[in-house]
Structures are given as structure tokens and as C-alpha cells.
Amino acid sequence: MNFIVIGGGAAGMSAASKAKRSDPSISVTVLESGKYVSYAECGIPYLIQGIVPDASGLLHYPLTEFTVKRGIDVQTGTKVDAVDRK
């Protein structure tokens, strides 16, 4: 079984992690258009205002937390334009 998540924000990474925990044998892939995953989107206004000094302050976990420790294939810089379920 293949489980594909579009979007690597906090919710997407949570869904990917839950799927992998539920069945470690499945293939889990996350497609993220940006270069970071597991970030707090709600903190972006604080970044813009300068309250959070740089984007790394919005990251919950480093990429290796998902790729190495959890066995999730994360593809950053990957934009999804359409979905063909066939």
C-alpha cells in the first residue's frame, strides 16, 4: 500500500507519521513544495513581524526525524499540480 501526503506542514507530517505508526510496512511519501517540513504555519505572522528571528524558529522537527527515524520518504521542492488516482 502507498500512502501519499500532499503538504509537509504540521498536519501533513502528523498524518504521515500516524500512517507509518499504524502500519510500518506501508510506503509513506510526503510531497512538499517548499524546502522545509513540520513547520508551524500559524507562526508566519511572527516571522514577518520579526518576533521570530528566522524561519528555523518555526520548525518542529528536523527533516531527519521523518526520513531516518520514522522511515518516511519526504520529497521537498516538489509541487503537485494534479492528482490522478488511477
Domain 2-76 = CATH 3.50.50.60: yes
42 is catalytic: yes
By CB atoms closer than 10 A (0-12, 13-18, 19+), residue 65 is middle
Write down the domain spans for the chain: 2-76
Q: Would you write out the chain's pLDDT as a tens digit for each of its 86 residues?
A: 899 999 999 899 999 999 999 999 999 999 999 988 988 888 889 999 999 998 888 888 888 999 999 999 999 999 999 999 88
**Which one of 42, 51, 68, 80 is the catalytic residue?**
42
Are the C-beta atoms of residues 80 and 12 closer than 8 Å to each other?
no
Helix (H) / strand (E) element for 5: namely strand 2-6
pTM for this prediction: 0.82
